[in-house]
Structure 1
Amino acid sequence: MSTFYIVATPIGNLNDFSPRAVEVLKSVDYIACEDTRTSGKLLKAFDISKPTFSFHLHNEHHKVEHLLNILRGGQVVALISDAGMPGISDPGFLAVRAAKQEGFTVTVIPGPDAATTALVASGLPCDKYAFEGFLPPKKGRQKRLTQLAEEDRTLVFYESPHRILKLLKEINEYFGGERIVAVARELTKKFEEVVRGSAEEVLQNFEDRDSIKGEIAVVVAGKSYSE
């Protein structure tokens, strides 16, 4: 029976790529990539030369059957995302479900993850937390924010640089300016930073910047949290 590997990739620092992950990618027959160009750079850096094909959010439904056909043919496939663990705000769920339904072995190779890295770096409670990923861009966004404002668990969001100010303003509006927030930017990279403080203070910090770049995770304290 063929094996379908889910392989975590570095979220920034290439030294975080595990020897096991490299070994697995060198052993498979095909590698499914969120972006073949981005993954091509990573694979080249570790001297991994395997056939690749695209597997991203916009073609996931269409490519699942292609992936299954490879497995049905007795060959081994690995899925990687641009950064972090496939399936966490990245494509992968449909493929894993389909592979399991057909009885193929699914093996996860753990590794870096921006959500838990930001959570630990935030200095906020980690015993109970909720990962929200990217909020809906429009429909349902206000309703979701209203619901989350009552959540007692620590919350973790992903956000893009050009929308981070919008999210921070919404946190101030729906959660209150005194709610503790930590914005983790460029994790594991050269310019890594974690800006922590009240929602009002963190918003002011980013509003005062000429530009905002890099991958961003936002961690928000639960409603009942107090320092």
Structure 2
Amino acid sequence: MLYIVPTPIGNREDLTFRSLRILKEVDLILVENYKFSKKLLNFYNVKTPIKTYHIFNEHKIINSILKKIKKGKKIALISNSGTPSISDPGFLLIRSCIKATIPIECLPGATALIPALVISGLPIHEFTFIGFLSKKKKRKKQLQNLSKENRTIVLYESPHRLLRTLNDLKIFFGLETNIVICKEISKIFQKTLRGKIQEIISHYQNSKKILGEYILIIDNNY
């Protein structure tokens, strides 16, 4: 069995009782970052062996992981925060397990996407989730297509690319488009900012430092 186990995106109290039990019961935990996850697991007193699994080694170790599971081992996959496979490693392993008829269970738990949508106050009966925008040539085409959407759009963004993305949104969506930015969901410095794109840009242009993890929710309902 492969277990997909969400871990807290900020507040460590957000790990579920079930997730904690599974992490203690499995034979091995695959982690995105060894040092970070070791510290996190020590906080919960989880002594299960861990092995690094990330985008730079997943192709090399997938077969060995499948062999372990086929021999009866129970393995859990966690990322640095949130639910694995959502803008984090996991997709290739899940697809390989399906192909090998290995059972998979994804536990419900923390993800930044849903809390940000709910507190945005924007229509969420339908929405489009993109994760991170493309950084290269596909970016322009991607933004052109998104501007034609009639649903709320959700993006993830890092602090050092936030202003670039906001300026791109201004070009493709227009100055009067309403957006909501959620920063550091569930963490000490959690903050939600609402306004027109130009107002949001001005706010961050006047900020001394742009830090944290950001979720952008775009009101494209028309």
TM-score past 0.5 threshold: yes
Residue 143 (structure 2) aligns with: 145
- Could you list the per-position Cα deviations for residues 122-163 of structure 1 after superposition, in whole angstroms to 9, with x for gaps in the alignment? 111111001100111112101110110111111111110000
What is the rounded CA distance, in whole Å, between the counterparts of 1:54 and 1:156 in structure 2? Answer: 29
Q: Are 2:186 and 1:188 equivalent residues in the alignment? A: yes
* Percent of residue pairs identical: 38
> Helix, strand or coil: the match of 2:3?
strand
What is the rounded CA distance, in whole Å, between the counterparts of 1:139 and 1:51 in structure 2? Answer: 41
- Could you list the per-position Cα deviations for residues 96-132 of structure 1 after superposition, in whole angstroms to 9, with x for gaps in the alignment? 1111221211011110111111111211111100110
Residue 126 (structure 1) aligns with: 124
Residue 208 (structure 1) aligns with: 206
Residue 55 (structure 2) aligns with: 57
Task: Pick the aligned partner of 2:33 from 32, 35, 42.
Answer: 35
The answer on whether the counterparts of 1:150 and 1:223 sit within 8 Å (CA) in structure 2 is: no
What is the rounded CA distance, in whole Å, between the counterparts of 1:72 and 1:20 in structure 2? Answer: 24
Task: Pick the aligned partner of 1:101 from 99, 102, 105.
Answer: 99
RMSD: 0.9
The answer on whether the counterparts of 1:149 and 1:223 sit within 8 Å (CA) in structure 2 is: no
What is the rounded CA distance, in whole Å, between the counterparts of 1:182 and 1:121 in structure 2? Answer: 9
What amino acid is the match of 1:199? I
What is the rounded CA distance, in whole Å, between the counterparts of 1:191 and 1:87 in structure 2? Answer: 26
Task: Pick the aligned partner of 1:73 from 61, 71, 91.
Answer: 71
Post-superposition, which runs of at least 4 consecutive aligned residues in structure 1 deviate over 6 A? Answer: none
TM-score (norm 2): 0.98
Offset of residue 223 of structure 1: 4.4
- Could you list the per-position Cα deviations for residues 55-107 of structure 1 after superposition, in whole angstroms to 9, with x for gaps in the alignment? 11222222211211210221110000001000100111111111122121101
Residue 5 (structure 2) aligns with: 7
> Helix, strand or coil: the match of 1:124?
coil
Unmatched 5+ stretches in structure 1: none
What amino acid is the match of 1:140? K
Residue 111 (structure 1) aligns with: 109
What is the rounded CA distance, in whole Å, between the counterparts of 2:36 and 2:13 in structure 1? Answer: 17
Residue 21 (structure 2) aligns with: 23
Unmatched 5+ stretches in structure 2: none
Residue 160 (structure 1) aligns with: 158
- The alignment of Structure 1 onto Structure 2 pairs a total of residues equal to 222
